[in-house]
Structure 1
Amino acid sequence: TFGYVDHVRHPIEHSWEFARKTIKHNDKVDFNGDISSTTIREISILKMLDHPNIIKLIHVEYNLNKKDFLSFFLEMFPIDLKRYMDACLSTERLSAKLIQNYTYQILCAIDYLHRHAIIHRDIKPSNIVIDYDGHLKLTDFGLARRCHLHEQALTHEVVTLWYRPPEVLLNAPTYGMSLDIWGVGCVFAEMCLHRPLFRGECEIDQLLLIFRFPNFPFNSIELSQLPMSRTCRQFLTDILVYNPQTRPLAKQLLEYHRYFTCSSNINLEKPIKSSIDRAIQLQTENMKHIVI
């Protein structure tokens, strides 16, 4: 889908802000007034979702006679998780409590999606938005699909490379909801390490990096080398399971894993305000150089 995202205010209630995703006519695509199936699917899925950790669709506008012929308005959140981590200084890394809280919220969103037979298919930090108070929401459902079977044949052109599970990289004939769980593991590791865990340059390189991880035969990475607590290491290895059929469900992780059950309660943890402010400033400066 060709388009862009910007921020707009309500024409009357100026304190209300929205994120507007606008789909443009593009000379590379002949829309003929038709909306792409991907866009229709994204809008229909967003309309049916209602969860505190999933971005809310507010309104959709369609005007065939305008250049920007389709816009949908979403809840406004200040910044995404990737930009926040990029803006954090070395002394401002995510605290253990914040990582636990964010991971919990991500899994709550994934559990809700999977209970409604929906796979997100693109879990990564830039598709997760946060605010100053510690709230987190999953966004960008452009690749999301309904999946009524545990596993079924779906396109393999999904998931950004660094967050792609082995079954997709190996072109398995089917895959299922455990694809999202692998993505959660990669995001969790990135929050802990402050860098992506598997930074492959191509699919083969990505597979080689994954096969070096401690869960896999012939690995060359010592788990103790990863700068995280023992509980975090165990949580990571319990998620990044090679066989998708034995990968845990989001519900199982939330209810039974020691990473969450060892805490008496999981309250909201506020991120560092100065890092969010810096991320917003950098985003604003970068937008000045983007030509749509």
Structure 2
Amino acid sequence: MQYNNRSSRSIVQSPSSPWFIESILGSGTYGFVECVRNINTHQMLARKIIKVTSKQEDENELPATAVREIAVLKSIHHEFIIKLSHVAFEPLYNSGTNHLCLYLEFLPTDLKRYMDALGPGERISPRLVKSYSYQLLSAIECLHRHRILHRDLKPPNILIDYEGRLKLADFGLARQCHMPERTLTHEVVTLWYRPPEVLLNAPTYGTALDVWGFGCVFAEMTLREPLFRGECEIDQLLLIFRLLGTPTVSEWPEIAQCLYYQTGLPRFPLDDVQLSRLPMSSQCRQFLKDTLIYNPKHRRTARQLLEEHEYLAEGAVLVHSSSKNGLLERPIRSVIDRAIRQQSESMRSVR
């Protein structure tokens, strides 16, 4: 596969580096990610270059998000979680400044870019949604089994390839979760995937936070658009209430302890009328309903969903049978190609 975004030859590489830059994959406040190929072994990896401030460098410190990501990826090994090859602190682009580099397993695109590249009439097939759901939930279950919260589940953090494999990535907000848990920061989870306990500023939260995010991602795969596209926290809450009804103290007793809870919140009925209008099968609708439960104590765990829910039974067969015959339900190859082209075009101005 050729990656034809802005010419890698225009980027000055360190002459001592064995890595050739194929393309730029993405950028953010953390830094940027490149696809690199080893000149000697031809191994292809994703290199995540983390910005280190002059103050951090002077004080010999690393960004907290990078430390978290490295710690989690070194401790977790799972077939549906991105693998960390190695970490390096090295000079790049003849800048004379060392950069923190995470060398990660490479996959060609992510779930958001794939969905954005779908053309009119194209959708993620129901079987592929089940396969992706099973793989993603398996990754989440592994994290929770090791008492780790991801805290930023969303389509851009879910990588996919041509063969139907999925890898959960971007662990900059991940952290260990202990019981009993002390108060945690609420500056987590991208707004559209944020659960009500975080939106209402509950005293604490736990693994149920990731299950809500999973439910939102599942709905987006099925509907081809975000389920709750809020513009701010209150708007996000109102969108959730309109679809699922306004939670009550009897249903979720701990809601009264949430800092932002008010008895005067707009009241929407707790019925299935709005949910029934979503353009998805009754089986998908029931699965969504069983993931988006208000009370975190009653929300199904990742393990319960994997082991007990009827919807995922076919997903388990699709994934486990692939280990025998090598075939997973696959995405549309031309859509991945289109996603890569769009990705290349959007990254031309980077660096």
Q: 2:164 corresponds to which residue?
A: 134
Per-residue CA distance 1:202-225 (angstroms, 9 max, x = gap): 000000001112354514962221
| 1:9 and 2:37 matched | yes
Determine if contact 2:130/2:315 at 8 Å carries over to the other structure.
no
Structure 1 gaps, min length 5: none
- CA drift at 1:84: 0.2
Determine if contact 1:92/1:272 at 8 Å carries over to the other structure.
no
Q: 2:342 corresponds to which residue?
A: 282
Q: Distance in 2 between matches of 1:228 and 1:166?
A: 23
Q: Within 5 Å, which residues of 2 pair with 1:154-169?
A: 154-169=184-199
Q: Distance in 1 between matches of 2:50 and 2:236?
A: 32
Q: 2:201 corresponds to which residue?
A: 171
- CA drift at 1:62: 1.3
Q: Distance in 1 between matches of 2:98 and 2:240?
A: 42
- CA drift at 1:69: 1.7
Q: Distance in 1 between matches of 2:102 and 2:71?
A: 12
Q: Distance in 2 between matches of 1:150 and 1:206?
A: 29
Determine if contact 2:215/2:292 at 8 Å carries over to the other structure.
yes
Per-residue CA distance 1:4-33 (angstroms, 9 max, x = gap): 11110012112x110000113446x65423
- CA drift at 1:263: 6.8
- CA drift at 1:91: 2.1
Query: What secondary structure, in the 3-state scheme, does the structure 2 residue paired with 1:34 have?
Result: coil
Q: Which has the larger radius of gyration?
A: 2
Query: What secondary structure, in the 3-state scheme, does the structure 1 residue paired with 2:311 have?
Result: helix
1:160 is matched by which residue type in structure 2? T
**TM-score of the pair, normalised by structure 1:** 0.94
- CA distance 1:228–1:163, change in 2 (3 Å): same
Determine if contact 1:2/1:26 at 8 Å carries over to the other structure.
no
- CA distance 1:38–1:230, change in 2 (3 Å): same
1:57 is matched by which residue type in structure 2? L
Q: Within 5 Å, which residues of 2 pair with 1:22-37?
A: 22-26=49-53, 30-32=56-58, 33-37=60-64
Query: What secondary structure, in the 3-state scheme, does the structure 2 residue paired with 1:69 have?
Result: strand
Structure 2 gaps, min length 5: 1-28, 248-267, 320-327
1:10 is matched by which residue type in structure 2? N
Q: 1:99 corresponds to which residue?
A: 129
- CA drift at 1:265: 2.0
Per-residue CA distance 1:160-190 (angstroms, 9 max, x = gap): 0000000000011100000000000000000
Q: Distance in 2 between matches of 1:288 and 1:263?
A: 38
Q: Distance in 2 between matches of 1:263 and 1:122?
A: 23
Determine if contact 1:108/1:250 at 8 Å carries over to the other structure.
yes
| 1:230 and 2:282 matched | yes
Q: 2:317 corresponds to which residue?
A: 265
Aligned pairs, how many? 289
Determine if contact 2:134/2:316 at 8 Å carries over to the other structure.
no
Q: Within 5 Å, which residues of 2 pair with 1:208-219?
A: 208-214=238-244, 216=246, 218-219=268-269
Q: Within 5 Å, which residues of 2 pair with 1:19-58?
A: 19-26=46-53, 30-32=56-58, 33-58=60-85
Determine if contact 1:156/1:168 at 8 Å carries over to the other structure.
yes
1:258 is matched by which residue type in structure 2? E
Q: Distance in 2 between matches of 1:285 and 1:230?
A: 39
Determine if contact 1:162/1:206 at 8 Å carries over to the other structure.
yes
2:274 is matched by which residue type in structure 1? E
Q: Distance in 2 between matches of 1:269 and 1:215?
A: 35
Identity %: 57
